[in-house]
């Protein structure tokens, strides 16, 4: 009972490879991660919810570990990976799942690093100067795209944190910067910048509990049983292994195990191992 397939020739492996092996790409689909995520975003509803659960099940731990690793590009301000790495880009896409957000919030070093970089007085100039080349056939991501995604990422994780200072002791210093960004980018093509910046101000100052609960309720609506054809979205229990894939009961979990066991917390596996792609 494998969940639905990925679009346009993508697989769990091509997505994970692009996220964790930058600048290399999977030979079977040499497409940059930003383009693969773009295609995934155009798939809506239950299909996308299944894909996010699969990706989170297999890669969440690996992505979190990579993002705080000593990988040279993550520590090179001239690289796009310094501000918005491919691993962080996939994490950001996965944050439509509350289970993913909760796991990220329990690893504050990831968000701490993002906030630290946003506090840099020269963040915009340095980030604009990054090399975002992705090959002649693929237009690179823009500064505005990456900047908006960074702000969105911090804002989303803050929904699952009681005290913003636990993510970074100086996070309140983002308030005047976010107020400026909300004004500066109000007419930007990327509306996420102004919207996320304004929301961050509210969140850091203390978001109304009812609004916070409402936003989390919207996210919770993305959860569903991993068994194909079930569609149940309430009274679900998370897999004890990956803590991402959910099921409505033991029967469906057992039925889906023949697929899920190949991806549960597996990370990126080399070609030649067990087949973990979706058919």
Tally of structural domains, the chain: 1
Q: How far apart are CA 113 and CA 150, in angstroms?
A: 11
Q: Is residue 169 part of a domain?
A: yes
100, 57 in Cβ contact below 8 A?
A: no
Give per-10-residue mean pLDDT for the chain (279 aa): 76 97 95 95 92 98 98 96 97 98 97 98 96 78 96 98 95 98 98 98 95 95 94 96 97 95 93 48
Q: Is residue 7 part of a domain?
A: no
- Distances in Å between the Cα of 37 and the Cα atoms of 52, 55, 101, 115 are 11, 12, 18, 24
pLDDT for 147 equals 98
pLDDT for 4 equals 55
pLDDT for 136 equals 65
Q: Is residue 1 part of a domain?
A: no
Q: Is residue 193 part of a domain?
A: yes
Q: Is residue 66 part of a domain?
A: yes
Q: Is residue 157 part of a domain?
A: yes
pLDDT for 240 equals 96
Which domain covers residue 255, as residue numbers?
12-260
pLDDT for 262 equals 94
Q: Is residue 4 part of a domain?
A: no
Q: Is residue 112 part of a domain?
A: yes
pTM of this structure: 0.94
Instruction: Find the length of the chain.
Output: 279
């Amino acid at each position: 009972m494998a969940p639905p397939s990925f679009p346009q020739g993508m697989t769990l492996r091509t997505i994970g490879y692009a996220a964790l092996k930058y600048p290399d790409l999977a030979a079977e689909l040499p497409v940059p991660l930003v383009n693969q995520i773009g295609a995934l975003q155009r798939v809506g509803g239950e299909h996308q919810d299944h894909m996010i659960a699969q990706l989170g099940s297999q890669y969440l731990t690996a992505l979190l570990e990579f993002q705080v690793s000593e990988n040279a590009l993550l520590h090179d301000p001239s690289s796009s990976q310094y501000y918005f790495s491919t691993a962080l880009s996939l994490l950001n896409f996965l944050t439509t799942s509350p289970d993913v957000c909760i796991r990220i919030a329990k690893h504050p070093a990831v968000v701490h690093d993002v906030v630290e970089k946003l506090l840099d007085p020269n963040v915009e100039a340095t980030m604009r100067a990054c090399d975002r080349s992705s090959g002649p056939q693929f237009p690179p991501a823009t500064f505005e795209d990456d900047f908006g995604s960074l702000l969105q990422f911090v804002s989303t994780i803050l929904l699952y944190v009681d005290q913003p200072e636990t993510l970074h002791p100086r996070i309140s210093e983002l308030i005047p910067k976010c107020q400026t960004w909300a004004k500066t980018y109000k007419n930007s093509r990327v509306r996420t910048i102004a919207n996320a910046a304004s929301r961050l101000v509210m969140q850091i100052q203390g978001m109304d509990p009812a609004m916070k609960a409402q936003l989390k309720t919207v996210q919770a609506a993305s959860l569903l049983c991993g068994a194909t054809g079930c569609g149940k979205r309430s009274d679900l229990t998370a897999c004890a292994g990956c803590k991402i894939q959910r099921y409505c009961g033991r029967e469906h979990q057992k039925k889906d195990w023949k697929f899920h066991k190949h991806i549960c917390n597996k990370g990126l596996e080399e070609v030649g191992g067990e087949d973990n792609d979706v058919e």
